[in-house]
Amino acid sequence: MATINEILSLKKERRATILAHNYQIAEVQDVADLVGDSLELSRAAARLDCDVIIFCGVDFMAETAAILSPQKTVVLPARGACCPMAHMITPEQLCDLKSLHPEAAVVCYVNSTAEIKAESDVCCTSANGVEVVASLSEDEVIFVPDRNLAAYVARHTKKKIIPWDGYCYVHDRLTAQDVTTARALHPEAEVLVHPECSPQVIDLADFVYSTAGMGRHANSSSASEFIIGTEIGMIHRLKKENPSKEFYPLSENAICQNMKKTDLDLVLRALQTLEPRVSVPEQIAVRARRSIERMLAVKV
Ligand code: 13P
Ligand code: SF4
């Protein structure tokens, strides 16, 4: 409690806003000003009126905030909290792919480095990948780095999607057998899965959503039980917003180690020291910003 009070008073003093991704631990979600998916948090970072953003999430999210708000101090409380998928493609590999497909537009999932965003035409998140691809005039689209989100988008477009072979280890290891087992245990439950899951898991799901989409669906559905195919941090928010409904993780092993690195002590230290700070060199940021802003202009 002492830590929470210190965080709240220091937050005011610093004119700071605490943003937390849906996968953060419960205590961190509860102290945040806004808990959301990647798209909601990017939108917030672009419009916030504050001096400091404490970004409880992973590296690419804090980088996106720093790109959109270069005048603000952006702090990632857990040093080195990264998304392994974002590092599965290098700018050199993307440039090689672009030279193989010179007519193709390049869409990069926001789970990517600033350098990859700078080399892309437009970003997307799991909430708007289909709409972003539909907004392009090109018929061929290079889609990096997530092969599973690429395959999901490919189901919803006639365009040729050229995927990169990256993946999220948390979602990719969820299996069709996990779905079958969970359905047998909870036959009345609706199955909601994230588009980072494999096509085999998506085939067996009732609905496919970003984490924010899962939240909206659970709030409005008449069902009272849900099997949740994403990182288990999501369950906290779903239960909090829907205390009369039941939520079961598709797998207890769906844990993103990097998302779990942030705790209240680190949030407090981040507010005290304004470190570890995240910034992006302006020559990269200017090109990455164009890709992110182009995404933010797409209506979902
Ligand atoms: P969303 O919150 O955008 O659905 O993304 C999930 C994710 O894995 C972020 O790292
Ligand atoms: Fe990256 Fe997957 Fe963790 Fe999201 S859940 S940050 S995609 S490793």
Q: What is the DSSP string of 101-126?
A: -TT-EEEEESSS-HHHHHTSSEEE-T
Using alpha carbons only, give the angle 100, 148, 256 rounded to the nearest 5 degrees. Answer: 120
Ligand 2, residue 83: give the atom nearest the CA. Answer: 1
228 SS3 class: strand
Residue with tokens 């790109």: 67
Residue nearest ligand 2's atom 1 by CA: 83
Number of other CB atoms surrounding residue 282 within 10 Å: 11
In the chain, which residues have pLDDT < 50? none
Ligand 2, residue 82: give the atom nearest the CA. Answer: 6
Closest to 227 (Cα-Cα) out of 265, 194, 272: 194
Tell me the one-letter amino acid at 265: D
Question: What residue ranges line ligand 2, CB within 6 angstroms?
Answer: 58, 83-85, 111, 168, 170, 196, 231, 256, 258-259
pLDDT in tens, 260-271: 999 999 999 999
Residue nearest ligand 1's atom 1 by CA: 37
Tokens of 227: 């099997």
Closest to 31 (Cα-Cα) out of 239, 267, 234: 267
Q: Which ligand is nearest to the CA of 126?
A: 1
Ligand 1 pocket residue status of 125, Cβ below 6 Å:
yes
Give Cβ neighbours of residue 106 (< 8 Å, ≥ 6 apart).
94, 98, 119, 120, 121, 122, 141, 142, 144
Listing DSSP states for 2-70 in one string gives: HHHHHHHHHHHHHTEEEEEETTS-HHHHHH-SEEE-HHHHHHHHHH---SEEEEES-HHHHHHHHHH-T
Tell me the β-bridge partners of 277.
Answer: 75
Using alpha carbons only, give the angle 135, 137, 139 rounded to the nearest 5 degrees. Answer: 105
Q: Which of 113, 235, 256 to mutate to test the pocket of ligand 2 (most atoms within 8 A of CB)?
A: 256
Ligand 2, residue 23: give the atom nearest the CA. Answer: 5
**pLDDT reported for residue 1:** 74
Q: Which ligand is nearest to the CA of 256?
A: 2
**pLDDT reported for residue 39:** 86
Residue nearest ligand 2's atom 6 by CA: 83
Q: How far apart are CA 125 and CA 149, in angstroms?
A: 9
Ligand 1 pocket residue status of 262, Cβ below 6 Å:
no
Q: Which of 171, 174, 197, 262 to mutate to test the pocket of ligand 2 (most atoms within 8 A of CB)?
A: 171
| Distance between Cα 2 and ligand 1 center (Å) | 31
**pLDDT reported for residue 300:** 85
Ligand 1 pocket residue status of 112, Cβ below 6 Å:
no
Q: Which of 56, 111, 173, 262 to mutate to test the pocket of ligand 1 (most atoms within 8 A of CB)?
A: 111
Residue with tokens 């943003």: 19
| 52 in Cβ contact with 17 (< 8 Å) | yes
| Distance between Cα 268 and ligand 1 center (Å) | 24
| Distance between Cα 174 and ligand 1 center (Å) | 15
